[in-house]
Amino acid sequence: MSDIRPVKLRICLLSKADRYGGGASKIAEQLAQNLTAEGHTVIHLSRSSRQGFNQINRPLYGRFEKLIKKIHWHLRTLGFPEILPMELPRLLLKKEFRQTDVFHFHDISGSISPFTLLILSFFKPVVWTAHDCSVVTAGCIHPLGCERFSSECGPCPQIGTWPLQSKFDFTRFLYKIKLFVLRHASNLTVVSPSEWLKKMINQKVAIKVKVISNGIDQLVFYPMPKNRARASLAIDEQAFVIAITANSSRNVFKGFYNNLSVLKALKQRQVVFTLLVIGRIDDTARHHLKAFNYISTGFVEDACLMNEYLNAADMLLYCAEAENQPLGVIEAASTGLPVFGFDIGGVKECVPVSERHRFVAPSQQAVLVADIEHYASQTQKNAADPFFSLQRMVEEYEKLYVSLAR
């Protein structure tokens, strides 16, 4: 990585969790690790950590963790999720945070108050990466077809589901808070991983949004011989293998059952394939999968093993219900695996321009099925896409931090 300047920075990253909390938290953790390796002083604060806290990854709420989590929980049940900036006093008063050059927030839903960003921005440069739509909604991660956020939110069809876990609907008030923060924060830089989400933000608020695309470790995700990758799964080298990925079959955003709908249509057209299911599946999903010749890997924590699974496939089917810039698609593109699916959010931005025709509107499922049927007769891997590297992403954020800390 290039040496940007000899003076190193003090950087505080904040997220909902460590890498086990999803793509946004994983990006925060990877930034913390790589910026530390570059000689910067980095603290990564997270609400929870599955792997355990350490010198870099520390508890977001400090010694008042139990109390603050309890208060946040009660406020959420009343319809005011994270309304009080309970984490703010520690960030303002503790010496190591007062000396911080830049604060960088990631997935704040369910963990951090928007008021914390607002107030902190009057004292320090603040970066907020919008990993999902909640930056311009009352709190929902994705509107899922609801257009109420385009005016002023509420009544909300997602009340009662995370992160709006309440019987009471104050989403119109929460929506106004979010826009107030975006418009009045003193030294706030909003970053979007995708051009799609940047446009959505600018439709709501006239602020400058910087695009820094997500990145993955391309020393881990890379093309490898298909026969070698298939050996461990005992998959026939001549089989046409379709992979589908999801962190859980119950995650409505990932479109598990959208994928099954496309696969059923393929089967009806006599396309013979082996289905590689990467991710958690429940009993309901297993029941539906009985219609296919499938292999289930379960949840995959090992990135090297995930690389093998992706290289064992002939294509990835990704028919998400709602997405921004999924790391799973980026990982596939980095192995050269062709991706077919729905043109949702910023998904197609994860693959080279020449490959984006493989994404269609959800209403055009028949076109998608025909495209896959045609591809099945002439499978061919793409060249690996080098753009979405972890190194490039870290360098872009590093340059941003330096410009803000001057």
Domain boundaries, the chain: 10-215+389-405, 226-376
Whether the per-residue pLDDT at 1 is higher than 60: the answer is: no
Predicted pLDDT of residue 6: 56
Whether the per-residue pLDDT at 175 is higher than 90: the answer is: yes
pLDDT tens digits, residue range 67-89? 999 999 999 999 999 999 999 99
Predicted pLDDT of residue 280: 87
Q: Do 10-215+389-405 and 226-376 fold alike per CATH?
A: yes
Higher pLDDT, 32 or 55: 32
Class of domain 10-215+389-405: alpha beta
Return the percentage of the chain with pLDDT > 90, whole number: 85
Q: How far apart are CA 20 and CA 25, in angstroms?
A: 7
What integer is the mean pLDDT of 324-347? 96
Whether the per-residue pLDDT at 227 is higher than 80: the answer is: yes
In CATH terms, the fold of domain 226-376 is Rossmann fold (3.40.50)
Mean pLDDT of the chain: 93
